Structure 1
Amino acid sequence: MQQMMRGRTDILSLAQGIVHWSPPPEALASAAQLVGEHSTSLYGADDGLPEVRAALKTKLAQENSITASEVMVTAGANQAFTNIVLSLLDASDACALFKPYYFNHLMALQMTGAGSGADIFIAPSTTELQPDVNALRGEMHQRKAQGRPPIKLVTVSNPGNPTGVMIPKARLLELSAVCAEHGAWLVIDNTYEHFAYPNEAPHECIEAAHIVNVFSFSKAFGMMGWRVGYLAYPPPLAPELLKAQDTIVICPSILSQRLALAAMAPGRCWVHERVSGLAEQKALVLDALTTALPAGSIQGGSGAIYLFCKLPVEDDLAAVRWLTKKHKVATIPGSACGMPGHFRVCYANLPLESTRVAAERLRAGLAELAAGGVDLSDEALAQL
């Protein structure tokens, strides 16, 4: 999608999972003052500046009820997940994802821990897009009975990317129990922890000796380009994680960490105001979808910044290309997440007035697709 949009200024994006705001002004001002300091240009501790890690441990205890985990600061949540894969999986180890999955999780498992011939069990989700714990349990029991390699690592996103669905604590605890029974690690990506909405299940974390939690500053604090994420992990994993960290990035950006620390001062209240402000954008996009698509096509919205929808055509990649070229609105094809015939819409990446225009473009394009007769062949798309 980035390649398709490169150099184009006429396309409005509901594709990439970003927010439209910048970090808190006081945090940016603090970072600006630190640019010239000599320490900003030096290497820092591999696992993050001590003052940042201390502040994160306080946050984890107060906001997430995580008190027994160690903390590592990383260059974004994607690098945090890659560190975990490198530390916990050998090339022959089996792992599991639930579809629809976050595509970068799949790619990390394919190209690092599990290799090109990855033994990745793609578990189904329920009709409500919750992880199907029974399917995972059945696969684990079957592998044991057949003498096949056990699943060593299970990954979920909470709330979900691309689903936009919050996983309730009871389901997380059920997943944890299955993983503990079979000696598997459970990795929970909490990148969208702050994106919880009224009258929906709250975001909650769980902690255990076999659980690793991933977090990010990118979304809630508008720090996408600053690249700051962090891990909350069982302390015995520290030596392996430090190997991966030192090999890939040595240390996270010093300036970015200091900006993150300053952003924690206005903290959750500042974030809550911005997340609450997404209600109108979400309503605009949801209205466009519901008026253009058949009933039951739209899911998500209980968490994160996404709606996940069934298209009126099967070729989701061609449909997304067509929407981008003809109607100048970009989304993400569901096949990238293991769900052909679907697409993901982000309602947080544009300010209100631009979202209004993008929603109307989306409505018009989807209505045209639903009416039928649209030529989605490569030849037709090339002429647009």
Structure 2
Amino acid sequence: MQGFRMFLLLNWGGLSSTSQSTIAISARCRHVSSFARHRRCHSIPRRLDSIICRRGTVMGMMKSPPGSSSPYSTNGLGTNDGVDDDDDDDNAPATTVADATRSPSISSRARGTLDPCVILMKRMINKYADKWRTRGGIYSLAQGVVYWRPPMSAYEALSDAIGANVDTTTAMGGGEGGDGGIIHTYCPDEGYSPLLEALSIKLRKENGLIDPHVIVTSGANQAYVNCVLTLLDEVDDANDGGVCVVFEPYYFNHVMAVQSIRGDGGLLVGPTVRGVPDLSWLRERLEENEYAGTAAASGGGGRGRNAGNAIRMVTLVNPGNPTGVSLPYAFLEEMMQLTKDYGVWLVVDNTYEHFDVEGRNRLPDGMSRPDFPCFDEEHVINIFSFSKGYAMAGFRVGYVALSSKNGNNNNSNSNGERGRGRGRGRGTQAYEEMLKVQDTIAICTSRISQMAALGAMRSGRSWVRERVKTLDVGRAAVLGAMSSLEDVVGGNGAMYVMGKLPDGVDDQEFTSLLVEHYGVAVIPGSFCGFTGWIRVCYSNLPADECAKAASRLETGILELATSSR
């Protein structure tokens, strides 16, 4: 098993002396012209604090916030593709200044970003595929996908769209930038109008979001990148950029997004208790401003109230990836109010909204009941996806919803129009800035993919619910296979279970041996900031195959992990 990188996510720096109670939007976005879509590019050299760890050898210590007794740190997995991370450096000739001047450079942010774990796991599976070819192949319980196909209504929509477009006798609207049935041109940046209309109805009925602003993105990951680019700033002499809070174990792509845009200094990693983010920890960070650096110390912004918007955004995944935990509605309500009180954006990734197994995210009795209630608040941004429930991961369709409430927190202004006029709310302002990001990254999501997503919606939530029920057998098998581990979390939401390996067992080495000798793949917890744990996905395979995979997993745990006790 090769070495891995642990990135130091806390980087203490100075803040603006301005104390703000309102949620902030990236100055980078606001400085981009709404009409001329161009921007100035700034190259800002900065040192990424990082430490390198080798298996069994820690080369450095994690930092803690000043004055804090609790360390806040995270672990990331480095390259593990069968090639030593250091091979390129060990025998390389000395580089002269002249050589360095002639060599094109690569962003330190990119080099400092976690390696994509799914790619590395697929390489590992491919490495041992021949060995297992005659024994049923390697079962993957690694990547978070579902075993079923999209609904037939999605294929019918595709067929209709393609058929209409190859019929040259059919007159179709939608020229350059238009929004007709033609499939080979751009559609509006925010999305295909018929899909937006359907999503507006869905969000009202199933999520309790009233007439939100919606941008269709190329998957939920792009939606999150849009949020980071819209809300966080670059670092310069006048701006500390703000930080994003994630909770470990975290979703690796969220961390990668912040690292690639802001570097490690843009991340603050908080703890969880049984998969539930620690609200007390977050409240303390906001109130005492441990992260406020020089602004708090100098008295310019004063202590308390998140001076200078030191913490700019908080990220949740519900139901949780990688935890497999559905967050209770009461917790979400408290988190919403806390972030509102301190002027912080709350970004909630609802990719697994259809997988709230135990119904934890339900409104209390006596209240109206959307299927999966979300908060219609100015400071809350909700992300959704077609990848999981509708099994459309390859189509790359997600969407982000921002509140259209005006600045007075009312549903409409004096003209009865939400989010317009002088009282524009922060959600509306963020939406307008996010369109610049959307136009820069994708312009628009693939039009034909959006048509397929619209077709999938015709099958309805009940179609998804029926298929989610079929995961019960596989979930039970996986939970049984992991029962010998001392600590198991999840299984009541999303499609994951996490288990703690015995002390001294290297999770990366364990997963490598599990693939090679037992023919089953899982994700090392190190990718998610939980060294010594594994993440297991039970939705990848039909019930009978998942049971076989679980049997291999159980054998591997008993022989590899528990034998080391």
Unaligned runs of 5+ in 1: 375-384
Look up the match of 2:252.
103
Look up the match of 2:224.
81
Structure with the larger helix share? 1
| Local SS of the residue matching 2:354 | coil
Contact 2:358–2:493 at 8 Å: present in 1 too? no
Look up the match of 1:378.
none
Look up the match of 2:99.
none
Contact 1:309–1:344 at 8 Å: present in 2 too? yes
Shift of 1:199: 6.3
| Local SS of the residue matching 1:73 | strand
Shift of 1:28: 0.9
Contact 1:195–1:305 at 8 Å: present in 2 too? yes
TM-score normalised by the chain length of structure 1: 0.92
| Local SS of the residue matching 1:35 | helix
Contact 1:333–1:343 at 8 Å: present in 2 too? yes
Unaligned runs of 5+ in 2: 1-120, 166-181, 235-240, 302-306, 363-371, 403-426
The more displaced of 163-172 and 153-162 is 163-172
Contact 2:158–2:452 at 8 Å: present in 1 too? yes
- For residue 6 of structure 1, the aligned residue among 121, 126, 131 is 126
Verify: 1:247 aligned to 2:440, yes or no: yes
Contact 2:258–2:266 at 8 Å: present in 1 too? no
1:198–1:94: structure 2 CA closer, same or farther, 3 Å change rule?
A: closer
| Local SS of the residue matching 2:499 | strand
Verify: 1:18 aligned to 2:18, yes or no: no
Look up the match of 2:369.
none
Verify: 1:153 aligned to 2:313, yes or no: yes
Look up the match of 2:162.
35
User: Superposition RMSD on alpha carbons, in Å?
Assistant: 1.7
Look up the match of 1:303.
493
Verify: 1:122 aligned to 2:269, yes or no: yes
Shift of 1:57: 0.7
Contact 2:245–2:267 at 8 Å: present in 1 too? yes
Look up the match of 2:526.
335
Larger Rg: 2
The more displaced of 278-287 and 194-203 is 194-203
Distance 1:238 1:370 in 2: 49
Distance 2:269 2:337 in 1: 19
Distance 1:331 1:118 in 2: 30
Encode CA deviations 1:250-270: one digit per residue, 9 max, x unaligned.
110111111111111111010
Distance 2:464 2:443 in 1: 30
Distance 1:30 1:95 in 2: 39
Look up the match of 1:196.
356
Look up the match of 2:331.
171
Look up the match of 1:381.
none
Distance 1:48 1:277 in 2: 32
Look up the match of 2:561.
370
For residue 428 of structure 2, what is the amino acid of its counterpart?
A: P
Contact 2:345–2:379 at 8 Å: present in 1 too? yes
Shift of 1:200: 4.5
- For residue 66 of structure 1, the aligned residue among 200, 209, 216 is 209
Contact 1:314–1:340 at 8 Å: present in 2 too? no
Verify: 1:219 aligned to 2:388, yes or no: yes
Contact 2:505–2:561 at 8 Å: present in 1 too? no
Look up the match of 1:48.
191
Shift of 1:26: 2.4
| Total equivalences in the alignment | 368
The more displaced of 65-74 and 187-196 is 65-74
Encode CA deviations 1:74-107: one digit per residue, 9 max, x unaligned.
0000000001111111123211001111000000
Shift of 1:370: 3.3
Report percent identity of matched pairs: 43
